[in-house]
Amino acid sequence: MIDPIHGSISLPQWLIRIKDEPPIRRTINIKQLGLKAWVDFPGAIHTRYLHSLGTMHLAAKLTDLLIKKEERRSYRRSGLLENLRNNKNSLMAASFFHDIGHGPFSHVLDYVLEKEFHTTHEKITCEIVKQFKDDLVRESIPVDHVNNIIRGEHDYPYLADIVNGPLDVDKVDYILRDSYHVGLKYSFDLDHFLDQITILGEGDELGTFELGLEKDLSAIACATVFLLLWTTMYDIVYCIQNSRIAEKMLEKAILIAIQTNKNLKEQIRNLKKYQSLDEWSLMRELQQTKGFPEEIVSRIRRNDLYHMIYDEEISGAKEEGEISFGGLQVKPTHRFYDELQKRPDEVAEELSRKLNEGREQEYDVICDIVERRVPEQVHLAEKNEQTGEPFLLSERSDVVYALEQERIHLKLYVHPERVKDGRRRKNKILGTIKELLEAW
């Protein structure tokens, strides 16, 4: 298979056998960046399928590198080499399947799945992997190992870290692939970067080992560049404003549609039917759902989006209140803080619902909470004598420390035909949000 990012990718036997099965072919009809290709980045028509192949290719490459490193060590760690060799196929399978449960338009369906179907795309992924049990077991790949790696809950954390960790091959692939397809000429030396990754651990307790970075300035510099690119991609691609608005519009259209469109609801609820739900079939179902869903699809197609009428950082109070926005000092309940930390999408939806109570249309105003993604902590193979622990990358890199500063924004989007009314009512809306937060 030829890939624009990694060149030639060789497929393992198990994948050659199953690659044309419907759940896998479906990912060819799911664009990696979803609506961003419709709104802001017309070049971003690459698919989840290609990302899966790229991630699998990198998992194999990194595992081989880690095996070579362990072979070269003067004192090998008991059982580690065998463990890596034995699990290479499981790692490749986990990285190939890791996103197979994604819905159409990638993350758009995430909140709908959680709120209305009490599931996640990760859980659906694990269910789909189980369907390929016989094909995987034939190659001595245990399905529960694959799913534990995908969930980041494997008995050997360093294995899960390769696919689902602070510097995993998933991130490496999507940073390179997405930047290439949106047209940003970002790059970094992939081979040099992978060579800086190592397994941290001493003794024979493999269950306590983790993936970290080598002990040298080159590793710090490489990881810093990588995390800087990763954060930048969130700022200028993954959270780009108009695409974000279109994604929220589509999410609300789906939430409304499943109240009346039984066919669509069943297509999401039923695992078998879900596996044939792609971008085209979702848009077709929404277009056939009279009212708000039909209107929203038509607007997205015309790029006639909601307008943003308000955007303010709510993290870090400016004056006396705990949270400040629109000049208001707000003292939210602790239940609100708890929800904001754990379920920001739920908070935004609850606010949207209450702001539109009694209005003609369900979502005249959409409230959105956008959090800046920050890097997870990574350890270096360099011991801090004062604590007896390895250093964290952020203890050795000023740039990574700066990237750790989280920000939370509150945004309001208003229906394109009610922009004037929305701007006029803005202060009233913010007052209502203050009341809601203080009574949460």
Partner 1 sequence: MGRTNDHNEALFALGLLAEFGTIEGRTRFQKIVYLAQRERNVPQVFRFIPYYYGPYSKSLTNLISFFKTIGFLEERRVKLGLDVFRYDYSLTERGMSFYERILRTLGEQATTVRSTIKRVASELRDVPTTVLVSRAKKLALGKP
Using rule CB under 8 A, residue 386 touches partner 1:
yes
Residue from 216, 406, 417, 435 binding partner 1 (CB under 8 A): 406
Interface with partner 1 (CB under 8 A), residue total: 42
Interacting stretch for partner 1, rule CB under 8 A, among 38-46, 68-76, 289-297, 373-381? 373-381
- Among residues 342, 306, 340, the alpha carbon closest in space to that of 409 is found at 340
Site for partner 1 (CB under 8 A): which residue of 23, 103, 157, 293? 157
Pick the closer one to partner 1 by CB: 373 or 423: 373
* Using rule CB under 8 A, residue 358 touches partner 1: no
Retrieve residue 260's tokens: 């009346």
Of 296, 340, 314, 323, the closest CA to residue 440 belongs to 340
Question: What's the min distance (Å) between Cβ of 235 and partner 1?
Answer: 16
**How many Cα atoms occupy the beta-carbon half-sphere of 30 within 13 Å?**
28
Specify the residue for token string 């056939």: 288
Task: Judge contact between 30 and 55, C-beta under 8 A.
Answer: no
Residue 113 CA to residue 121 CA, distance in Å, equals 7
Query: Which of 134, 202 has the CB closer to partner 1?
Result: 202
Report the distance separating Cα 26 and Cα 75, nearest Å: 47
Contact positions with partner 1 (CB under 8 A) in 50-69: none
Of residues 72, 185, 302, 334, which one binds partner 1 by CB under 8 A?
A: 334
CA–CA dist 193, 226 (Å, integer): 8
Single-letter amino acid code for the residue at 436 = L
Phi, psi of 255 (to 5 degrees): -60, -40
387 near partner 1 (CB under 8 A): yes
Q: And the tokens for 376? A: 């997870």
Q: How many residues in the chain?
A: 440
Geometric angle at alpha carbon 157, from 72 and 387, rounded to 5°: 80
317 belongs to the binding site for partner 1 (CB under 8 A): yes
Tell me, rounded to whole angstroms, the distance of Cα 118 from its chain centroid.
18
Region from 87-95, 137-145, 270-278, 309-317 binding partner 1, contact rule CB under 8 A: 309-317
Phi, psi for residue 260 in degrees, rounded to 5: -120, -30
Tell me if 18 sits within 8 A of 24, measured CB to CB.
yes
Residue 135 engages partner 1 in binding (rule: CB under 8 A): no
Q: Is 408 in the site for partner 1 (CB under 8 A)?
A: yes
Closer of 54 and 390 to partner 1 (Cβ):
390
Single out the residue of 210, 294, 345, 438 in contact with partner 1 (rule: CB under 8 A): 210
- The least distance separating partner 1 from the CB of residue 275, rounded to whole angstroms, comes to 31
Q: Does 376 bind partner 1 (CB under 8 A)?
A: yes
Where does residue 380 rank: exposed (0-12), middle (13-18), buried (19+ CB within 10 A)? buried
Place of tokens 């809601």: 436
Among 7, 22, 203, 358, binds partner 1 (CB under 8 A): 203
Residue matched to tokens 């390179």: 176
Out of 180, 186, 234, 337, the residue judged to bind partner 1 by CB under 8 A:
337
Is 34 or 157 the residue whose CB approaches partner 1 more closely?
157
| The binder of partner 1 chosen from 189, 235, 389, 421 (CB under 8 A) | 389
Angle at 109 between CA 106 and CA 111, to 5 degrees: 125
Binding status of residue 189 toward partner 1 by CB under 8 A? no
Q: Are 158 and 201 in contact (CB under 8 A)?
A: yes
Residue 27 · residue 52 · CB < 8 Å: yes
202 is a contact residue toward partner 1 (CB under 8 A): yes
Minimum CB separation of residue 306 from partner 1 in Å reads 27
**For residues 205 and 266, which CB has a smaller minimum distance to partner 1 in the complex?**
205
- String of contacts with partner 1 for each residue 251-290, x by CB under 8 A: ----------------------------------------
Binding site for partner 1 (CB under 8 A): 157, 200-203, 205, 207-210, 315-317, 322-323, 334-335, 337-338, 340-341, 374, 376-377, 379, 384, 386-392, 394-396, 401, 404-408
